Amino acid sequence: MRAAIHAQHPVTVGERLRDAGWIAFVAFILGIPMIGLVTVDVGGKLVVHTRMPLLVAFVVASFVIRLVLRFVIEQLKRRKAERLARAPQRQTAARSLLKPLGWLLASAALVLPLVFSGNRYVVDTATTVLIYVMLGWGLNVVVGLAGLLDLGYVAFYAVGAYTYALLSTQFGWGFWESLPVAGGLAAFFGLALGWPTLRLRGDYLAIVTLGFGEIIRIILVNWTELSGGPNGIDSIPRPSFFGLPFKAPSDGGAQTFAGFFGLDYSPGHRVVFLYYLILVLALATNLFVSRLRKLPVGRAWEAIREDEIACKALGINVVNVKLSAFALGAMLGGLAGVFFAARQGFISPDSFVFSESATILAIVVLGGMGSQLGVVLASLVLVLLPEIGRDFAQYRMLLFGTAMILIMVWRPGGLLSRREPTLTAPAGTKAEAKP
């Protein structure tokens, strides 16, 4: 490793300048229409003006930034390579930190609403983070473990949400009765998507799943009798606390949550309740998926991701394994959808657009494919960054994009890319490795 570093020829100043010069040239070409020219309204007539000083500043800035950025990145890379060469044992230390980190996050999640009980915004944002965590964990089964690139995951989220919305508004079903039905229906849709796409892999599968996601959304927009079309479905009943609704006490009315516990009514109760509800759902999802991963099914999912042909040669029924991944992933998405509908009280096809699928996929990829804790960290990054960026108004998405690029440069395999084995050899059998 170290030899490789020294063998690399050092980048000369001339090369750096030439490289930055190219970037400045490209910036100049792009800058002419984007910055150099501007239309000005002169007496009801559009006139083209030039902004030469601004263009020059842009080109110079590009030159300098490229020069500095490249130097910094090279230094960082070199230092990282040296560190790896020097201390490979540090990696194991990092691994042992992950478990405490997971527990720390879980306990922080548990006490968060108590600490911020008066701050509705924080609890609401945390609830959104948890929805994405749950969706990420669900998609992780399909993409991270089974390696099936799914760009239409939001379809299952929509199926779950609309199932609950329709069951509750049309038939008066409650949240808890609807949950298994919606999960089952989403799983069925997962099978419906999985069955025809069994032979597809990679890009081709991605295209079909993308289409599937759009089909569901377009059906929801156009099938007005069922889904209310673009107007969506409103006044979806909110979940109650074991039959106790979160309402202001009304005289002679039914018992409410606040009344039952002798508390003063506060709309914050429901917010906190919803937060804990999604926390329980998400933690159950995590327990379920991480347990499954260590079972034969989970190992078969990963084996299929690694080499499908080898799986066939070992007697594994690839069809069943893939379908189970699709169905389970879809079911978890559906459950998250039920919660989403119950939380919002109103859903419309606008909530289930492609960019949602892309965000969930980004969470899985950014977290590190297959890593459960990675999904949590990535959800925090992806939900909190745009929130923090609110102060920057129109530069918000620019900031967001830059952060994403930097993270992927820094950690190409995702935030937590190391895979935990599902089994380890029993102790005492550690013989000397003989190559």
Pick the closer one to other proteins by CB: 53 or 426: 426
CB 53 within 8 A of CB 31: no
Pick the closer one to other proteins by CB: 16 or 418: 418
Q: Determine if 430 is a binding residue for other proteins (CB under 8 A).
A: yes
CB 142 within 8 A of CB 153: yes
Q: Determine if 435 is a binding residue for other proteins (CB under 8 A).
A: yes
CB of 91 to other proteins, least distance (A): 13
Q: Determine if 433 is a binding residue for other proteins (CB under 8 A).
A: yes
How far apart are the C-alpha atoms of 71 and 119, rounded to whole Å?
Answer: 44
Token output for 216: 């569901």
Residues ≥6 apart with Cβ < 8 Å to 354: 151, 154, 210, 213, 214, 217
Pick the closer one to other proteins by CB: 40 or 427: 427
Q: Determine if 412 is a binding residue for other proteins (CB under 8 A).
A: no
Residue with tokens 């347990």: 291
Pick the closer one to other proteins by CB: 233 or 331: 331
Q: Determine if 426 is a binding residue for other proteins (CB under 8 A).
A: yes
Pick the closer one to other proteins by CB: 155 or 330: 330
Pick the closer one to other proteins by CB: 62 or 286: 286
Q: Determine if 425 is a binding residue for other proteins (CB under 8 A).
A: yes
Residues ≥6 apart with Cβ < 8 Å to 299: 293, 422
Ranges of H-type helices in 202-314: 202-222, 224-227, 257-260, 268-293, 296-306, 308-313
CA nearest neighbour of 129 among 359, 420, 418: 359
Sign of the dihedral through C-alpha 302, 128, 175, 181: negative
Q: Determine if 65 is a binding residue for other proteins (CB under 8 A).
A: no
How far apart are the C-alpha atoms of 221 and 304, rounded to whole Å?
Answer: 36
Pick the closer one to other proteins by CB: 355 or 429: 429
How far apart are the C-alpha atoms of 11 and 3, rounded to whole Å?
Answer: 17
Per DSSP bridges, beta strands 45-50 and 37-42 are: antiparallel
Burial of 335 (0-12, 13-18, 19+ CB in 10 A): buried
Q: Determine if 49 is a binding residue for other proteins (CB under 8 A).
A: no
- Binding residue (CB under 8 A) for other proteins from 39, 355, 394, 429: 429
Pick the closer one to other proteins by CB: 145 or 380: 145
Residues 288-327 touching other proteins, rule: CB under 8 A, are: 288, 291-292, 295-297, 299-300, 302-303, 306-307, 309-318
Q: Determine if 86 is a binding residue for other proteins (CB under 8 A).
A: no
Q: Determine if 393 is a binding residue for other proteins (CB under 8 A).
A: no
136-175 mask for other proteins (x: CB under 8 A)?
A: ----------------------------------------
CB 39 within 8 A of CB 48: yes
- Site residue total, other proteins (CB under 8 A): 36
Question: Would you tell me which residues interact with other proteins (CB under 8 A)?
Answer: 288, 291-292, 295-297, 299-300, 302-303, 306-307, 309-318, 419, 421-426, 429-435
